[in-house]
């Protein structure tokens, strides 16, 4: 939200959380995750490098 451009086809969707989840599943969300390692160094991971499953549905009680 916050007037950021939508990175996926909406197909009638209006819920910002659902739109964000769709962007994440389609690997179109523009962010990087920085993972710090025990030695103080870090790895940067783009969303296109992540494995994104619908496991969040199980966590929140969905199908």
Per-residue pLDDT tens over the stretch 13-51 = 999 989 988 988 888 888 899 999 999 999 999 988 877
Question: Does 54 have pLDDT greater than 80?
Answer: no
Rounded distance between C-alpha atoms, residue 54 and residue 24, angstroms: 11
What's the pLDDT score for residue 25? 85
Could you tell me which residue, 63 or 4, shows the higher pLDDT? 4
What's the pLDDT score for residue 2? 80
Q: Which of 13, 7, 18 is nearest to 60 (CA)?
A: 18
Predicted TM-score (pTM) of the model is 0.60
């Amino acid at each position: 939200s916050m007037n950021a451009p939508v990175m996926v086809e909406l197909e009638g969707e209006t819920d910002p959380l659902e739109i964000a989840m769709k962007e994440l599943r389609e690997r179109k969300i523009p962010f990087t995750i920085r993972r710090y390692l025990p030695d103080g160094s870090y790895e940067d991971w783009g969303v296109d490098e992540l494995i994104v499953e619908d496991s969040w549905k199980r966590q929140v009680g969905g199908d």
